[in-house]
């Protein structure tokens, strides 16, 4: 729980979706708040998938980042395998491209 509190506290902003009192979707943006924004933890409860909830979360988080972003800023993310189309439809492009190298990750295991 303490790790979750630290992680959420470090978010620039987040968005939660409820059906009544049931949490059905969540997403957040991390970064420096000016030049670098990263969509993180976009999650929709499995029984609610296929209803455009994920698309709406991505759209609203992206709009909020754009409202704060300076000229030349980057809004990035790492898609879960098989979820790339959700982000493509929201204007994100896969890497590598002719001008951009591959996105990379290093996990902390110890």
Q: What is the pLDDT of residue 35?
A: 96
In a domain, 72, yes or no: yes
In a domain, 105, yes or no: no
The pTM (predicted TM-score) of the whole model is 0.89
In a domain, 77, yes or no: yes
Query: What's the average model confidence in pLDDT over 72-90?
Result: 94
Q: What is the pLDDT of residue 83?
A: 92
CA pair distance 88, 31, nearest whole angstrom? 21
**Which residues are bridge partners to 19 per DSSP?**
22
Total domains in the fold of the chain? 1
Select from 98, 50, 109, 105 the least CA-distant residue to 76: 105
- Spatial strand order of the sheet with 36-44 comes to 13-19, 22-31, 36-44, 74-76
């Amino acid at each position: 729980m303490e790790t979750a509190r630290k992680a959420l506290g470090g978010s620039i902003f987040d968005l939660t979706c409820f059906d009544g009192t049931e949490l059905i979707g969540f997403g957040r943006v991390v970064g420096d708040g000016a030049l670098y924004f990263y969509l993180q933890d976009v999650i929709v409860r499995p029984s609610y998938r296929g209803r455009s909830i994920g698309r709406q979360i991505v759209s609203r988080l992206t709009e909020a980042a754009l409202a704060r972003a300076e000229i030349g800023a980057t809004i990035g993310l790492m898609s879960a395998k098989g979820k790339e189309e959700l982000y493509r439809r929201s204007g994100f492009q896969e890497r590598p491209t002719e001008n951009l190298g591959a996105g990379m990750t290093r996990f902390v295991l110890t």
